[in-house]
Amino acid sequence: MKLRITTPIPTLLFTLFALLLQLSCVHSQHTSNWAVLVSTSRFWFNYRHLANVLSMYRTVKRLGIPDSQIILMLADDVACNPRNVFPASVFNNADRGLDLYGDNIEVDYRGYEVTVENFIRLLTDRVEPDTPRSKRLLTDDRSNIFVYMTGHGGNEFLKFQDAEEISAFDIADAFEQMWEKKRYHQMLFMIDTCQANTMYSKFYSPNILATGSSKLDQSSYSHHADNDVGVAVIDRYTYYNLEFLENNVKNASSKHTMKDLFDSYDTKKIHSDPGVRTDLFHRNLDEVLITDFFGNVQNVETDGVGEDEKWKVDVSELARLAANITSPKKQQKEIKVEELKGKAEKKISAFKVEEKASWTQGVVGATALVACALAWFGGSFMPK
């Protein structure tokens, strides 16, 4: 009797302990990394905004996030712009050491597609049914997302395409919807625009770490211009972020933390007061690796016990897959919904314009004229 009561208690305790352990680890667990990089400015003189975004694109790609998990939005084409002296190249430094456009780039939203509506649709995944995968943010509750935005902005708004604005409330609500739909695990929001810190002031969803280039009533400045390109090539805040990332985060196994990055911000160099918002983010910044957001998850396989077992599992899994592959015909028959194989109905077509002077037309015309004349005469002879 006594035994029957006591046995469940240690097991219960053990499970509780295990649960607690899991809970304590839960913060550092993510299984995929995504990046949403947005340049909202149109026109050639906003070259630096594209360069900002492309610099971030190169950085996240360097640290291992594949193109399929990067959503790149460029509101204008500067690389192949006729004004560009260097066709198909974008530089973020006057030394022109690195071509950001390079040989391999995938722009997911470009030109007129970069709108407030599309941006919010992308975040909340409320897209048209035909939208291809490359234009969707296919994240889940285990995905860390890095959102980087740059453009021209003001107090609690950011301009898109010089024609419309997104407000701080819009972004905050979109993020809340993402949280409700379990579309992210943790998020880093970084913005480089005038009065940028106002843009994250309205956030209210958990697990968002936010940083911006300048506080309320402060402009965000460009770093330097390239005389051959003819315009400024990068903004200060992004420049010093990149400098830190290039010099310190050499590869995806870097142990630098977000605190190191934020501590590197120097108001004297940036010419504005960069801000960091941590109240929604319940982790110590010195425990958060930069690669949690800028790099991709590294899946490491360890050699050890049960290796042979795993191998057998792999083989049986492959055999199952192979069986499916080698008998595709059976599957095809199930999927294919055959249509009526009759002749297609084609009603929409341009019509043939013809001018035919046939005698029937003449007769009809003449008859109509005569009838009118008769009616008129008849009317004038009518007694009053």
Partner 1 sequence: MRLLHLLSAVLLFPSALTSFVAAADTPESVQLDNDYDESLLLKTLPGNSVLASFRFVSNGTFNDHHHTVFPRSLAQILEHSNARELHLKFSLGRWDAEQWGAQIWDGHTGGGTGVELWAWVEADDDAAADKRWTTLTNALSGLFCASLNFIDSTRTIRPVLSFQPEGHHANPDRLHLLHGGLPREPVCTENLTPFLKLLPCKGRAGISSLLDGHRLFDAQWQTMSIDVKPVCNSDGSQCRLQVVQTVDMVLDVERSLQRRDSPVPKPRPLDQLNCDPTRSYGSGDNCFPQSNLADLPWSLSEIFGRPLHGSCPLGTTDVCVVAPADRQVFASQASAEIKTGDKRCYTLPQKSDFDLLLPRQSPPLPIEVTPPPLYASRSFTGHGQERGGVQAVIRNPSPTETVKMIYLESLPWFMKPYLHTLKTTIPNSLVDLYYRPNLDRQRGAHLEAALEIPPNSTLTLTYDFDKSVLRYTEYPPDANRGFDIAPAVITTDKGYQIRTTSLLLNLPTPDFSMPYNTIILSSTVMALAFGSVFNLLVRRLVGAEEVPLRGQKLRGLVAKIKRLGEGKRKAE
Q: Which residues bind partner 1 (CB under 8 A)?
A: 42-43, 77, 79-81, 85-89, 96, 99, 101-108, 110-113, 128, 130-135, 161-163, 228, 299, 301, 311, 314-315, 317-318, 321-322, 325-326, 328, 332, 339-353
Closest CB to partner 1 among residues 226, 292: 226
The C-alpha atoms of residue 124 and residue 179 are separated, in whole angstroms, by: 9
The C-alpha atoms of residue 42 and residue 219 are separated, in whole angstroms, by: 19
* Alpha-carbon distances of 221 from 194, 203, 224, 284, 337, rounded to whole Å: 8, 25, 9, 30, 59
Other Cβ atoms within 10 Å of 188 Cβ, number: 21
Closest approach of partner 1 to the CB of residue 94, in Å: 12
The C-alpha atoms of residue 120 and residue 244 are separated, in whole angstroms, by: 30
CB of 187 within 8 A of CB of 181?
no
Closest CB to partner 1 among residues 304, 342: 342
Closest CB to partner 1 among residues 42, 236: 42
Closest CB to partner 1 among residues 1, 85: 85
Residue among 59, 113, 373 at smallest CA distance from 245: 59
The C-alpha atoms of residue 75 and residue 160 are separated, in whole angstroms, by: 8
Closest approach of partner 1 to the CB of residue 240, in Å: 27
Closest approach of partner 1 to the CB of residue 383, in Å: 45
**Which residues does the annotation mark as catalytic?**
152, 194
Closest approach of partner 1 to the CB of residue 364, in Å: 21
Retrieve residue 143's tokens: 């995905």
Closest CB to partner 1 among residues 163, 374: 163
CB of 148 within 8 A of CB of 191?
yes
Question: At residue 311, what are phi and psi to the nearest 5 degrees?
Answer: -60, -40
CA-based torsion, 85, 91, 92, 93: positive or negative: negative
Closest approach of partner 1 to the CB of residue 183, in Å: 20
